Each structure stands twice: as structure tokens, then as C-alpha cells.
Amino acid sequence: MEPVRNFIGGAWVEPLTTDSILRADPFTGKIHLELPVSTAADVDLAVKSAAAAQPNWAAMDLADRLEALNEFADALEDAAADLAAAESLEMGKPVDIGTQFVLAGIEVFRESLKDAATYPFDEEYGGNDEIRTFTRHAPVGVVALIVPWNFTVAGILLGLGPILAAGNTVVVKPSEKATPSAVRMLEQCALPVGVINLVVGDGRTGRALSENPDVALVNFTGSVGAGRQVAQATAPRLARAVLELGGKDAAIVDLGVDVENVAAQLTYAAFVNSGQICTSIERVYVVAGIADALITALVAEARRYVMGEKRSAGQISIGPMVDAAQRNIVRYHIEDARAKGAKILVGGEIPDVPGYYYPATVLTDVTSDMLVMHEETFGPVLPVQVVASFEEGLANAAESHFGLAATIFTNDVTHAEAAAQLPVGMVWINQWQGSGLVRMYEPARASGSGLTGGRAAYDAATRGVSVSIPKRLVPPLRLSAD
């Protein structure tokens, strides 16, 4: 097995640890990787490297920083196939899905760099006849970027652009379940030494990074439990934390929609990447008058999803789950639903094949007390509950301690307007993921905190400094607002 190293100060270095964890190939279940668990001392080296690089990086002209970052994007685009292959091997997604999301991540990264050109790093705000007052949006310093295992490369790129374009430096911590693709990504990096650093390990490494006193901002995507730990780690020193956590995203299907189209969208949103997406649709509320037709169409669509390589043009490949632990969560949710009276229409059983596969599953006769309807399943499972009206579906969708996203299928404009009031960070009308990955939002409830995307991502990565100066001194300062 190829050793995994940290990337610190522009060099690949052995972690200062004897502790490691073993990871299994999701396609076979056999051990294929030994991952060192970086210590607090490793983390401190990475943070010090980032801190040393930050002043010079921030002092560069914005145009020069953006040029360097776009060159990094070019290198990643050239390596997209290799990055997708690494993601497939580490967590099981089909290579074509991996490629799609790697390229989408690069696109978002490039778009975020364009935002830098219009972001008011220096803006005039306040003043009087004698004094001009400017707000300077200065970089916060060293940022910890902790990403989940389901889309490592895209997960890094979604937050990285504004962090670096604003003049910060970063320490990246990928999940222990999906580290090699992050290593491959950093192998493409030709940015100045120390601008990007990488530490590998598990939650102990992430905790040390969150607790490091020289980290000014933690940008975290992951579970609710881990997110709470990040919040607790940053609170004593009053450091910032932007958190995107779990979800239990609902879909509501109204009368009068195109059933076949909606069924295709719902199954894709539930089963792509084996349901291991933060915004996967995990519960469906369908109005009674259209329920039978929709359920029939959902079952037909679900049967198109085959485990492993597809064998005909009409089939869709579904990869294994990331590991046995995640598949066991899915199994437990299904067994709980079955014991409480749910009807499994397709799927619902662990197959007798190597690896961590779980079939596309549709179930009905579900109730709100079932785990599959109120806890994050994170697997290829689509529970469907029939409701008497759109309003009942809307109320049920809002009954959750999560608040990440919701998808509404309706041709009624008043229903669409009502859906926009759901307590979630994103609402998509008639198109799951309709906004793509370029968006600005803040998760609600236990799904996280902190507005992100677009200008908000730059606001989070900068600190406003009010500068008041006599008007006669303004021109020499060359503030961009002048």
C-alpha cells in the first residue's frame, strides 16, 4: 500500500504519528489503505506553514492571486479523470458520476474567482465633510477547510476559491474515509509554498485543527455531531465557524405534474451516488390524487438502477456505499420501517455480493415515527407518504430538526410561493438541484449555520475594518473605492 503523507510547506512529509486506521475497498470489502492519523503536532506544523505564507499571499495583487488560482483550476481540469478515479476507489461512486462532480466543483471554483473581481474589498461607508470612511475587507488569516467523504474534490473546491482569493491561506483536512483524492488534488498544486496545506487523519486530527489557536475560521461540512464539536472547539477563542451539516430533505409532489418526469427526478435525487449526498431527497410527500400513478412510476424507475456495471442502455449504474458502517445505518432504518408496518416495493435487502452495495429501495405506508422519515439515512432509499393535500405535505416537510433543502413539484404558483417559506436553506421548484452548485444560502436548524456562497463566502473569509482618514490623504492610499 502506498504511504499517505501530509502536504506542509510545499512538501510531502511523513506524519509525526505511529497511529493509523485501515480502510477497505468499497467494491470488494478488502483492506486497501492504511491511513496515518496526524497528531496535534502535525496540525500545528501545517497551521504555522499557512500562517507564514499568508502575509505575502495577501500582499499580492488580486489579479496575480486570481491568475495563480485559475492556473490551479486548469491543472485540476487536466487531471479530472484521475481525480474521479481516485474518488471512485475510495468511496464507491461510478467514475462518470465522479467526473461530473469534479468538473462541477472546478466550475464553481472558477465562478467564485469571478466574484472576487466585483467584491468590494475596499468600500466607502460613512464619513463627513472632512473625513472619508472606508470599510476594508481584510483576510482573516489561516482557515481550516474540513470536508466530507462523499465528494472530496468538489467539497474542497466549493469553499476554497473565496478563502484563497481573499488573501487567506488554508489547511485542508479530508475525511479519513476518502483521503487519496485530496492527495491527488494537492499534487496538482503549484501555488506559493504554504498557501495550501493538507493534514490526513480522522476526527482526532479534525478536532486538533478546529482547536488550534491560530486558525481564524473553520469551514466545515459533515455530520451534525461533528459540527457541534467544531462549534464547541471554536467558541472559547471566539473564532468563526461556517457549518453545513446533515439533512433530511423532503420532496412534495402536487396534483397536475408530469408523473414520469417527476419519478425520474425523484429516483435520481435519491439514488445518485448511492444516496450519499447532503441534499439527496430522503422523503416524499405525494398528494393522494396522483399517488398511485407516482408510486408505480417510482418502482419502474428504481428497477433501472443496477448495482455495479450496467448491462443495457436503459439501466443506470449504482456503486457501493462508502463502507460497512454506512450500509448498516441504511439496513437499520429499513428494518425499523419494516417492523413498524412499511411496505418495501423494491430493494430493501443487502445483496450477497462482495463490497458494500445496497439496492435502490422504494417503500410506502411509512409514518413519521419511522427512522427513515426523520433521521438522515444517507443511502439509496426513497420512502413515500401519501397526504390528503399539498398543505399537509408542506406541513410534514417542515416537521424536521433538519433544514438543508426541499424540492417541490407543482404547477400552482401559490403553492410554489408557500413552499418558498419552508424553514430550509434551499428550495427548488420543479427541478432538484435546479440552481446547480452556484448559490448563496444558509442552512436552517440542525443543518448548519453561516451564510455561504457568492458574496457571503467572501464576507465569511474577511474581517471588516473601518478606516477613517482626512480627505487630503485618500489618494496616496489608493483605496479601490476612490
Positions marked catalytic: 244
d(CA 98, CA 82): 10
For strand 131-139 and strand 122-127, is the pairing parallel, antiparallel, or unpaired? Answer: antiparallel
**Residue 482 burial class via C-beta count within 10 angstroms: exposed 0-12, middle 13-18, buried 19 and up:** exposed
Amino acid identity at 110: R
Q: How far is CA 283 from CA 350, 370, 379, 453, in A?
A: 21, 11, 12, 26
Query: Closest Cα to residue 266, out of 308, 221, 301?
Result: 301
d(CA 76, CA 84): 11
Q: What are 425's three cell numbers?
A: 436553506
d(CA 472, CA 416): 54
Q: How far is CA 12 from CA 7, 8, 218, in A?
A: 5, 6, 23
HSE toward the beta carbon, residue 377, CA cutoff 13 A: 31
Contacts of 89 (CB under 8 A, 6+ apart): 25, 27, 32, 180
* Spatial contact of 386 and 288, defined as CB atoms under 8 Å apart: yes
User: Looking up cell 439514488, which residue turns up?
Assistant: 271
Q: What are 85's three cell numbers?
A: 478515479
d(CA 75, CA 72): 5
Indicate the DSSP class of residue 117: H
Question: Where is 244: in which H helix or E strand?
Answer: strand 240-244
d(CA 382, CA 397): 14
User: Looking up cell 428494518, which residue turns up?
Assistant: 335
* Spatial contact of 451 and 442, defined as CB atoms under 8 Å apart: yes
Question: Integer distance in angstroms from the first to the last C-alpha of the chain?
Answer: 57
d(CA 66, CA 199): 25
